[in-house]
């Protein structure tokens, strides 16, 4: 990567952080009446999409284990998530959305669409598809580097 390309990469990283912060703040505000946060919602989406364990949630979201335990505990207390001991390793809980969790996720999605429209209103559908593709490739590379034994960002900081 050229020096200018490196500068652009840093600029893009800073912009991503700013967009992430703005999105999280807006989501937290819009989800507050439901007693949910952006983190709760991210976890619920991942469980809905097949992530089954807290360890896998930590790896996918790049967050600390303690925070994830609190988040899953919150969701379980609200009746949105259940933990069932794994038949392979009883120390591991298999996570699943409850019927109430599925309903809460659907309701939250209606609210999150409004936030998404605010965040990406100036971006065409084609650009958004391209951005999604680029981010997916970037995450795939980062995950493959982490899987190769390097420390993930959550392990470094």
Please state whether the predicted TM-score (pTM) of the whole model is above 0.75.
Answer: yes
Q: Would you state the pLDDT for residue 104?
A: 96
Q: What is the pLDDT of residues 93-132, one digit of tens each?
A: 899 999 999 999 999 998 888 888 888 999 999 999 999 9
Terminal C-alpha separation, the chain: 26
Comparing 142 with 56, the larger pLDDT belongs to: 56
Regarding whether 96 and 107 lie in a shared domain, the answer is yes
Give the pLDDT mean for 83-93: 85
Sign (positive/negative) of CA torsion 129, 131, 132, 133?
A: positive
- Domain identity same for 108 and 129: no
Q: State whether 132 and 70 are in the same domain.
A: no
Distance CA 103, CA 80 (A): 9
Is 52 found in the same domain as 9? yes
Q: Are residues 116 and 129 in the same domain?
A: no
Contact predicate 57/51, CB 8 Å: yes
Domain count across the chain: 2
Q: At residue 112, what are phi and psi to the nearest 5 degrees?
A: -70, -25
Please tell me the distance from the alpha carbon of residue 55 to that of residue 53, in angstroms, as a whole number: 5
Expressed as residue numbers, the domain containing 109 is 3-122
**Which CATH number is 12's domain given?**
1.10.10.10
The pLDDT tens digits of the residues spanning 31-61 come to: 999 999 999 999 999 999 999 999 999 988 8
105 and 139 belong to one structural domain: no
Same domain, yes or no, for 128 and 117?
no
């Amino acid at each position: 990567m050229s020096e200018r390309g490196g500068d652009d990469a840093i600029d893009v990283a800073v912009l991503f952080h700013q967009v992430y912060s703005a999105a999280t703040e807006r989501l937290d505000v819009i989800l507050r009446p439901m007693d949910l946060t952006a983190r709760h919602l991210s976890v619920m989406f991942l469980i809905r999409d097949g992530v089954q364990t807290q360890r896998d949630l930590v790896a996918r979201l790049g967050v600390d284990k303690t925070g994830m335990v609190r988040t899953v505990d919150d969701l379980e207390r609200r009746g949105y998530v259940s933990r069932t001991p794994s038949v392979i390793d009883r120390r591991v809980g298999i996570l699943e959305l409850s019927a109430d969790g599925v309903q809460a996720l659907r309701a939250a999605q209606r609210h999150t669409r409004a936030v998404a429209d605010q965040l990406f209103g100036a971006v065409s559908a084609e650009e958004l598809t391209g951005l999604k593709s680029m981010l997916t490739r970037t995450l795939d590379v980062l995950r493959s580097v982490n899987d190769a034994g390097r420390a993930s960002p959550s392990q470094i900081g």
